[in-house]
Every structure is written in structure tokens, then in C-alpha cells.
Homo-oligomer: A and B are copies of this chain.
């Protein structure tokens, strides 16, 4: 590819590419609350069509997968996976409106940038549109793509990708022809350092509920006057009791029998990556961005801290509620109380083994009535070797732009990458350059105009083009 020419195209089409992104950001697509999903899928399909892709809105029992194919008659096929759904944006704490694609200055440790604030900006409409813009830039400049393209845009990643396996099963013969998978993502931190993650943890998401109805004790149908606590049992206290049996040490140690049984020590390849990672890893950008002062272990011991993050299987309370939660005081004996919980899985834990362990624990502790309600069946963890050509292409691309990437064994977060690595047997990589942060938090942003360290959206797009160029050579 003529990278110079493509680069010029990117520079001269900055405004149009920004308009594409803005259009996508302003379209709500909140899968947890089922807002705007269909409209967003249709918008994404239109973008595919503009890239001359054979496009299909693949219907599932849940949200549709926006599927696209472009046969360039090339030797290699790249599968790009991204999600068009986002988290809700109704939480307090936004200083910029969550759905107005506001451009505003932002001071990063690497200097001032212009950031683009919006729900979904970094997770992951920003990287997704940057990738589609990159494809357009190649097509317009080169006339033809030098590789075939398969686009998988899913609409329920934030719901645990419940129906993506259904799609993968239906399209398996087409999908498995791909040589590699790219998950468009901005790899730079606030200082400009590149972090490349070779995998993800698995996840299961469920609700635990204690109710008078199931228990047969306490109020069974509605909350009653609080004075009745003297002679009527409390499903709210029961939830607290049941939860407190699950962990100790502030939730840092899970007490469920066999919970950690399958947790494997880091592989030799991981140990090697960590030895290198320890030298460059800096916790400050993370702490600053999300306003965290302390970790569960002493952060001076970087190796321990990193291993804690990457190899700890967690049982996290995402939310908890019951009874009267409004202003002021209302005395109430609630009839139920509920907690949302996610379990993160690390190698070699198996997704389908975990909930039965939690169920057994609750039963044995006497909480047979405390209900487990699965919200996301979730996914297994997934890892890819640093030796894969697609990974090496990404590393080489970063170096080409002057960045030595910090290669992480995997991410602490989750994504359904096991469908690529385990089901389709395709290696994958996340990338390329650029920076965004505060996924799932207020003031989610990506960098629009960068500084000397952090790439803006134009640089991000160019780095994606360069990655594709690097990859087809391998």
C-alpha cells in the first residue's frame, strides 16, 4: 500500500471522517436498557454498504449482528470484530453531556489534548469508526483493498454477547476462512505508552436475590412497616448474610469451595511478558484517570500488583438494592433485596463450572432460597500467543510510529474473544494507536487532537492502515 498517499487522504478527509464518527456516537445504542439498538444497527449497515460490503443485518434472539463481507479476490482475509452497543449513560458525574459528542480540552500527563466526550467513545464506537474510516481511506486511495474483509459488528457485548455464538455457528464456514481477527481499540494510555493485551478474562454476570416469597419468611409480596422487624424476618438482612459468606477480606478472597481450583499460574510465555512489563509498567495514569489512590496490594511490588490484576478471579458486587432507597427516612421491612454480581475468569477456569459452585455454596450455607438469576451466560477467557503474525504485525506497526509497546499477557476486562481463539481458531489482536478512557464511567472520552505523545484520531487511523499493510506482508 502507498502509505504516504493514504496518509494524505486521511489528512484531507478529517472532517468527513469525524462526521461519520459523530453520527455514530450521537445514535444511542444502550443494550442494557434496549435503547436505539435497531437504529444503530441500521446505521452501521449503511456504513458497511458505503464500503461496498455485502451487508446483512443478522437477526438473533437478541440484538442483531451487523455482518459484512468484502471479497477483494486477495490471498488473505481479515476479520474485524467490534461492538456497536454501549453502556447506559444515566449515571451521575458527567461534566460533559454524555450524548453530545463534545470536543473539549483535556489535560493529560503527556500534555493538553482535545478530547471527544461521549458514551461509547472509547468502548468502542470511536475505534470502530476509525477502523471503518481507515478502510475507506485505503479503498479510495488504492482503488481496491489488498485483503478480503469480514466485518462482525455485534450489538450486545455489554450484555455478555449472549447471541454471538449463535451467529458464529450460523456463519462458521465463512468466518473460519479469515486468517486473523482485529479488534479495533486504542492502545495508548494518558502518557502515550502503548499497551497491547494478548487476551481477556472470561465473565459471568448474575443477580443474587433474597425474597420473602422464595424464602417463605419475611414479607412475601411487598415491603411492610419497619416496626415489624421485631417479629418478622428480613430478606434484606438475609441477602447481607448470604453475601458475607461468599467472600472475606472486603471481597478480596472468595470463600466458595473450589472457586480457585482451576486457576493456573502464569505460563512461561506470560512470565516472560511480565518480566518485561514490570520494567515499564506505570500505575499512575490509571490511578489518575479513575481516581483510585490505593491498590489491594502494595503497588511498589509491581510484579505482585500485575499478577494480582491479571491472574485473580473475582466475585464483584456491581450493584445492590432493596427496600426504600429514596430521600429521607421511610421505615420499611423490605420483601426482597438483590445484588448484581460478576465473576471474572482467568486461565484455566471454565465458565460453566462456576455458577454451580456458587449455588452449592449457598445451598450448603443454608441459603437454598437465595436465587441465582443469570443475566449473561458470559464467556470464557481467551489468550493469543505473542508469536502470532497478527500480533507481531501490531507490535511492528507501533515501533514504526516510534512506540515500543508494552505487551500484556491479557486484559483484566472481558470480551468474547474465545469465539475467535477457541471456536474459530483464528488468532487476533487489539489495536492500534490512539487513547481513550473511562469506559463504563462518566466522562468517557477519546482523544480527538493528540499531542506529541498521544495520537489523535488521524494518527489512530493511519496506524490502523499501517497495521494492515504490515500484516498482509507476513
Contact = CB atoms under 8 A, between A and B. Distances in A.
Interface residues of A, number: 95
A221 B290 CA distance: 8
Contacts of A294: 216-217, 233
B292 A232 contact: yes
Contact of A319 (B216, B217, B323): B323
Total identical chains: 2
A319 B317 contact: no
A31 B326 CA distance: 12
Contact of A317 (B91, B323, B442): B323
Interface string A341-381: 01010000000000000000000000000000001100000
Contacts of A91: 222-223, 324
A60 to B, nearest CB: 16
A76 B88 CA distance: 64
A229 interface: yes
Given A328-B31, A412-B227, A240 B243 contact: yes
A32 B324 CA distance: 11
Contact of A329 (B201, B205, B244, B330): B205
30 contacts: A32-B328, A33-B327, A91-B223, A216-B293, A219-B290, A222-B290, A222-B291, A225-B440, A226-B342, A227-B412, A227-B414, A228-B290, A230-B308, A230-B310, A231-B312, A231-B412, A232-B296, A236-B319, A240-B240, A317-B322, A317-B323, A318-B324, A318-B329, A318-B330, A318-B332, A318-B333, A318-B334, A323-B340, A329-B342, A330-B340
A-B pairs with lowest CB-CB distance, top 10: A237-B251, A32-B328, A319-B323, A244-B244, A229-B316, A319-B324, A236-B317, A230-B312, A221-B291, A227-B412
